[in-house]
Amino acid sequence: MSAFTVGEHDFLADGQPVRLLSGALHYPRIHPGAWRDRVVKARQMGLNTIETYVFWNEHAPQPGTFVTDGRLDLVRFLQIVGEEGMHAIVRPGPYVCAEWDNGGLPAWLTADPAVGLRRAEPRYLAAVDAYLRTVYELIAPLQVDRGGPVVLVQVENEYGAYGADQDYLHHLVDLTRECGITVPLTTVDQPDPVMLDRGSLPELLRTASFGTRATERLATLRAHQSTGPLMCAEFWCGWFDHWGAEHHVTDVEASARELDDLLTAGASVNIYMLHGGTSFGLTSGANDKGVYQPTVTSYDYDAPLDEAGRPTAKYWRFREVIARHAPVGDDVPAPAAPAPAFEVPLVPAAGLRDAAEATATWLTHDNDRPAPPTLDELAHWRGLVLQRAQVAPAGHRRVLELGEVRDRVAVWFAGAPVGVLARDHHDRALVLPAGGGELLLLVEDQGRVNYGPRLGEPKGVLGPVRLDGVAVTGWSSLVVDHDLLAARVLEAPAAADDAPAARLPAVLAGPTLARARFALDGPSDLFLDTRDWGRGMAWVNGWPLGRYWSRGPQHTLYVPGPATRTGSNDLVVLETTGARPVARFVPHPDLGHTEA
């Protein structure tokens, strides 16, 4: 193919009508060793296209950086798509939502209150321009007219639900074309008249996002775009989960009927998600519409391919539907075997505070400030920070009040735990016992809001910290580099890993780091059972599995097979509350209870 264009009614490949049958895969949510497997399974389901977002904040964790190796090797991912005979749709944002931390926007950018997000504000546009120029340098050589797989590029993302700055959209289009992107440009919005009007430009192809009432919603899209191909660029065949809620599933037959209606209408489709994968590390986002709801680590999404890339009942029904409308090959994925099941001791390695103090120094702040600095002021964009102040003795109990908690604060006083203040409970106060000494806070970011007006908000303790109404001053902070601490645990002598169970404590009292060692006959997907643990995060052989929490609904962490190895493997756990000193691996995932 040498040209891909938008025709009067269809997409055109070298002038011939073609329908895009696409599935969404997010390359950072899949181990690179599994990229080809997921693309092949997409083709085996009958798809001809792969769609992905580009995650700005993951590629650029600090200003002036742009990481493109490992799971961020966008070029290699797109090359694999092309090698497997598939087209590609790229959605570089700059905002992506995607239940991803901060909607993909770098926290170092949103931390500046002078930056006007997602509009034609000079500081924001300068950062966006630098980002997009870098991304387009990677994408442009992979366009279809240069022998690559890329056939569409999206401008912004669901912009009509957020803003109406047409100058901003024009700027993005002009920059995109200036950077050598020649394929058709699209926008996507929910099929609401206001959103469709605000979120696009006449020269762009509008597409829609929905999961139900396909015929009706395609009609709404057509009413706002009289010519060009119809496309549902996000066909929601599942949904995401929040900690403390249920695991979402959608009815297989209902989803299959909607997909059939879409294809019967002649529309192109992008199945969101074909395979959701995992928000590895601390990349999952959150929602806040009055109550803060952090998103779980698993991005299974009840997709046709589950979190481990295994075909589900939805996969096979979608394949049957697609076969009614397009050729589907004879090859199918091989059945997946259960994962190995076993358990090993989880051995204490170091207390979190001791480990953090061994790798970083306490930062002192202005003695007069009435609150510790936020994570953003510390340029610590994800995770944990310890903050302390000295409190004078008193012979009575006192009330500790925090201005606002974002998102969770565990409190110790004079070396003893006092309690936890949680944002999702709107907690702001607790009682300290009589006496004096060190007031210690473990402040935890649980994921930045990825959708709506709270996008870009700072993390940490906001507003004054008061004790019986009097400001607490003299704060210092210790940034916790969780990935570094996990690596240091692996560097330490491992003789204690062979300790008999009788020598292990009855419980691991957090916050603490622990380690387990296990052997495998060969690389294998694993499911780490977290039911007997409190809350924290885990790594296997240095690969960041993500957060776990006894609150559920998710009760297993997915371990990608390519992250494991033949022979000895290492698990590191950072537990913040308390856990049984056992690491248990189970044959199947457990993503929790459903609404039914």
Q: Are 487 and 358 in contact (CB under 8 A)?
A: no
Peptide bond into 94 cis (omega under 30): yes
For residue 160, the 8-state DSSP code is G
332-340: average pLDDT: 95
For residue 295, the 8-state DSSP code is B
Annotation says 158 is catalytic? yes
333-350: average pLDDT: 96
Return the pLDDT at 458.
97
Residue 189, token pair as written in the block: 């919005």
Q: Are 322 and 42 in contact (CB under 8 A)?
A: no
229-244: average pLDDT: 98
For residue 507, the 8-state DSSP code is S
In terms of DSSP H, where are the helices of 185-227? Answer: 193-198, 214-223
Q: Which domains does the chain have, with CATH numbers?
A: 20-323 (3.20.20.80), 342-346+483-586 (2.60.120.260), 361-480 (2.60.120.260)
- pLDDT at residue 492 greater than cutoff 90: no
Return the pLDDT at 596.
65
Structure confidence by residue, pLDDT tens digits, 67-110: 999 999 999 999 999 999 999 999 999 999 999 999 999 999 99
Residue 89, token pair as written in the block: 């749709």
Q: Are 479 and 416 in contact (CB under 8 A)?
A: no
Return the pLDDT at 1.
77
Return the pLDDT at 591.
98
Q: Are 144 and 151 in contact (CB under 8 A)?
A: yes
- pLDDT at residue 587 greater than cutoff 50: yes
- Whole-angstrom CA distances from 10 to 7, 15, 177, 324, 453 are 5, 10, 22, 19, 36
Whole-number Å distance between alpha carbons of 334 and 317: 16
Whole-number Å distance between alpha carbons of 215 and 265: 7
Q: Please give, one letter per residue, the 3-state secondary structure of 220-253.
A: HHHHCCCCCCCEEEEEECCCCCECCCCCCCCCHH
User: How is 385-430 classified by DSSP, letter by letter?
Assistant: EEEEEEE---SS-EEEEEEEEESEEEEEETTEEEEEEEGGGT--EE
Three-class secondary structure of residue 303 per DSSP: coil
Q: Are 346 and 507 in contact (CB under 8 A)?
A: no
CA-closest candidate to residue 32, choices 560, 524, 525, 522: 560
Whole-number Å distance between alpha carbons of 101 and 96: 10
- pLDDT at residue 240 greater than cutoff 80: yes
**pLDDT tier, 495 (very low <50, low <70, confident <90, very high otherwise):** very low
Set 51, 58, 99, 158: catalytic member: 158
- pLDDT at residue 497 greater than cutoff 90: no
Annotation says 343 is catalytic? no
487-514: average pLDDT: 80
Position 471, amino acid? A
Put the strands of the sheet holding 11-13 in their side by side order.
Answer: 4-6, 11-13, 16-18
**pLDDT tier, 2 (very low <50, low <70, confident <90, very high otherwise):** confident
Give the DSSP H or E segment for 287: strand 286-288
Whole-number Å distance between alpha carbons of 404 and 421: 10
Whole-number Å distance between alpha carbons of 151 and 185: 9
Q: Are 22 and 50 in contact (CB under 8 A)?
A: yes
* Beta carbons within 8 Å of 565's beta carbon, 6+ residues apart: 520, 523, 541
Residue 450, token pair as written in the block: 């990825």
Return the pLDDT at 595.
84
- pLDDT at residue 502 greater than cutoff 70: no
Three-class secondary structure of residue 403 per DSSP: strand
- Whole-angstrom CA distances from 328 to 16, 25, 162, 331, 480 are 20, 20, 39, 9, 51
Length of the chain counted residue by residue: 596
Structure confidence by residue, pLDDT tens digits, 400-423: 999 999 999 999 999 999 999 999
144-150: average pLDDT: 97
Set 51, 58, 234, 575: catalytic member: 234
Whole-number Å distance between alpha carbons of 180 and 559: 39
- pLDDT at residue 499 greater than cutoff 90: no
CA-closest candidate to residue 149, choices 29, 55, 43: 43
Whole-number Å distance between alpha carbons of 180 and 20: 23
| CA quadruple 272, 8, 263, 197: dihedral sign | positive
Q: Vertex 334, ends 328 and 335: CA angle to 5°?
A: 120
Angle between helices 352-359 and 482-491 (to 10 degrees): 90
Return the pLDDT at 493.
76
The residue whose two tokens read 């052989």 is: 541
Whole-number Å distance between alpha carbons of 451 and 289: 10
Q: Are 270 and 332 in contact (CB under 8 A)?
A: no
Cβ count near 336 (within 10 Å): 12
Position 165, amino acid? D
Return the pLDDT at 327.
95
Return the pLDDT at 306.
98
CA-closest candidate to residue 90, choices 82, 327, 263: 82
Return the pLDDT at 496.
47
Position 238, amino acid? G
Give backbone dihedrals phi and psi of 143, rounded to 5 degrees, phi first. -75, 160
**pLDDT tier, 503 (very low <50, low <70, confident <90, very high otherwise):** confident
Return the pLDDT at 494.
62
Whole-number Å distance between alpha carbons of 305 and 315: 6
Q: Are 560 and 543 in contact (CB under 8 A)?
A: yes
- Whole-angstrom CA distances from 86 to 32, 240, 265 are 18, 27, 23
- pLDDT at residue 238 greater than cutoff 50: yes
Structure confidence by residue, pLDDT tens digits, 249-277: 999 999 999 999 999 999 999 999 999 99
- Whole-angstrom CA distances from 583 to 339, 340, 527, 550, 552 are 15, 13, 11, 15, 18
Q: Are 337 and 308 in contact (CB under 8 A)?
A: no
Position 76, amino acid? R
Whole-number Å distance between alpha carbons of 387 and 373: 9
Q: What is the mean pLDDT of the chain?
A: 97
Strand pairing partners for 174? none
